Amino acid sequence: MFFDKIRRYLLPVAIFSLLYGGLNFLLSGLVLPGADFTTFRPQLLIPVVFGLVVNPWVGGIIAMAGNFFGDFLLDYGLYFWPWSIANFFIGFIPGMVAWWGIRNIKKVNEFIMVLVFVFLGNAIAMFIGFTTHVMLHGDATLLYVLRTFYVPGVISNSYILMLLLPPVLVLLKYLKLNIETRAMFLFLLFSLGVLTIVVAAVFWSQFNSLTNLIANQRIENGYDVLQQMIAHLFNWIGVALLVILIAAGSLGYYFSNRFMKPVMQLAEAANLLKQGQWEEKSRISIPRVNDEMTSLIQLFNNMATEVYQREARMSSEIEQLKLSIDKKKEDKIVKEITETDFFRKLEEKSNKIRKGKNR
Amino acid sequence: MAAIVSIHSYRGGTGKSNLTANIAYQLASTGKRVAVIDTDIQSPGIHVIFNVQQDANLPCLNDYLWRKCEIEEAVVEVDVTMAEGMNKLFLIPSSTNTGDIARIINDGYNVELLSEGFERLCEKLSLDFLLIDTHPGLNEETLLSIAVSDKLLVILRPDQQDFEGSSITLRVASRLQVEHIAVVINKIPASLNLEALKGDVESAYGHPVAAMFPHSDDLMLLGSKEVFSKRYPGHQFTREITTLSNYISQV
Ligand SMILES: Nc1ncnc2c1ncn2[C@@H]1O[C@H](COP(=O)(O)OP(=O)(O)OP(=O)(O)O)[C@@H](O)[C@H]1O
Ligand SMILES: [Mg+2]
């Protein structure tokens, strides 16, 4: 069953595994100074995107095979094999959103779900990687490793993915931009950009003063201090990421409720009206906030009601009036009018006129 | 030879004045020479639609009936912006002065003068059409107007009382040997079947229905302040006015 899932994609799997591994090799130097495991790995995009766009298996296999290949290039051989297994989940877990029917992102909650699964993929993969590594090699306590390497690692991966993944998904048309997803997308991009600048500035100043201290032998254990400083920094980045995600999601939900929902309701109601299926009960409920959108909804409701009533009038069984004449009463009135002297004279006169005209 | 056309309804408020004004405008815009005379002395109204200001110093129909002036002196030119090829439109208004109205109701006047006035107007203004906007009911001046008319339009609404009243008018008009008698149905509710209504009315009266006007909110909203067909040339109401005007100039 797993092979079924990737058979059709063998060629891309091969190519992108090689690319992933190759980038692991090339970008292995992209390590935060002093932090062994907190590398910036934009190549993570490859398995994540394949996991989302194609299917989880393809994403997982690319990450796993690619990692083996990268280790081979880096001359690690099979020493870090648990890491390659762990990498599988980086590509696999995000792709799992398809199991909940998410084949592309059109709504805020789908957007959030994808980001959360991307995060989970990294968190789980790296947890597996670190625990098996500690179990196999036992060169440090698990708690120390998790605190010092795991948390910053997960955060750096999540960070780079949150920054790079949405634009790529837009290009691939997996993320469909509409009112709500656009709001969330732009907010994410903007706030992550700001975060990057802030983090770079903080890191730069801290790192410089710290390396000075270390170089001047003013503190012992310089390496540990640096590690802690970086772990600390990453904790803050993690908090910032969480805040940004929540804010972006809230903004998306706000836009969804305030604009997207009424727009969709208007479109739906317009469609009903077009098909002649609009009814009084299809009136859109007026939002409590009073703004242009509210006016538009009111306008539409009124217009639809009018069109509806007009149509009902036209199509309702065309009625027929029953009019009658009371002959006796009428005879009496006619007699009263015609039996006066005035009327007799008038008759004569009109007679004369008619004759005159005929002449 | 001028044609005298009476526009009448048994009951008030059927739309006589508005229809008269619109027919007059329509006929004039096809190059006919048209005058409208407001014989509704008791409650004049058509000058409002034509936007004619009443001037106490100028003679009007009342002055003629009191022999204070000749009928042609009471003529005013209606100032409707002329379309190309459109003829002048004349109006002989009645006084809106309450004293004048009371006097004419109490003292009466020589009704004969009215018919002489019609003839003289036709001649002096070399008219094609003289349209008479009448007072509702069958009082003497209305009967006289009908008697001297070549054509009579009886306006009614789809309403039992209008229906009965119009029947009386039509029978009286037949006795007076009016040559062309036609019925116009106005203010028809949108839900009524026009064809069935037309059939019913024609078979009940034995006279043709020359035009049928649905009730129009647009017309209502204009509030008799303007000639509707001038303001709304493409409107359904205006098209029906054209039909009616053609009917009048052809029969
Ligand atoms: N087809 C129509 N649809 C809607 N309203 C109409 C229609 N025809 C006339 N009306 C309205 O009916 C009212 C009476 O019209 P109008 O004054 O022309 O009637 P009338 O017969 O001359 O009345 P009166 O008997 O008082 O002289 C006006 O408010 C006019 O706008
Ligand atoms: Mg009137």
Interface probe with B: pick from A316, A320, A335, A359, most Cβ of B within 10 Å: A320
pLDDT > 90 fraction of chain A, expressed in percent and rounded: 42
Cα–Cα distance measured from residue A154 to residue A53, given in angstroms and rounded to the nearest whole number: 22
pLDDT-wise least confident of A106-110, A281-285, B65-69, B225-229: A281-285
Please write the tens of the pLDDT for every residue from A14-70.
999 999 999 988 888 776 555 555 677 899 999 999 999 999 999 999 999 999 999
Question: Residue A32: its pLDDT value, please?
Answer: 59
ipTM confidence score: 0.87
Mean pLDDT, residues A321-325 taken together: 78
Name the residue among B163, B190, B191 with its Cβ closest to that of A323. Answer: B163
Task: Looking at the CA of B8, name the nearest ligand.
Answer: 1
Burial class (CB in 10 A: 0-12, 13-18, 19+), A357: exposed
Task: DSSP letter for A39, please.
Answer: B
Residues in B closer than 8 angstroms to A351, CB to CB, are 177
- Which range has the worst mean pLDDT, A315-324, B26-35, B47-56, B210-219? A315-324
What angle do the packed helices A151-171 and A108-137 form, to 10 degrees?
140
What is the percent of chain B with per-residue pLDDT over 70, rounded to a whole number?
98
Residue type for B175, please? Answer: R
Query: Does residue A167 contact residue A105 with C-beta atoms inside 8 Å?
Result: no
Mean pLDDT for B42-48 is 92
Q: When comparing pLDDT for A357 and A338, which is higher? A: A338
pLDDT in tens, B167-199: 999 999 999 999 999 999 999 998 888 888 999
8 Å CB contact of A349 and B115: yes
pLDDT tens readout for residues B59-109:
999 999 999 999 999 999 987 766 667 888 999 999 999 999 999 888 888
At a CB cut-off of 8 Å and minimum separation 6, what does B235 contact? B216, B218, B228, B229
Nearest to A282 by CA among A258, A265, A259, A263: A265
H or E element, residue B118: helix B111-124
A333 in B contact zone (CB under 8 Å): yes
Where does ligand 1 bind, in terms of residues with CB under 6 Å? B 9, 12-18, 40, 43, 45, 136, 186-187, 213, 215-216, 219-220, 224
Measured in residues, chain A has a length of: 359
Residue A40 zone, left/alpha/beta (φ > 0; ψ -120 to 50; rest)? beta
Q: Which residues of A touch B114 (CB under 8 A)?
A: none
Q: Among the residues of A27-103, which ranges form H helices?
A: 45-53, 56-73, 81-95
**Which two structure tokens, joined as six digits, stand for A5?**
């899932």
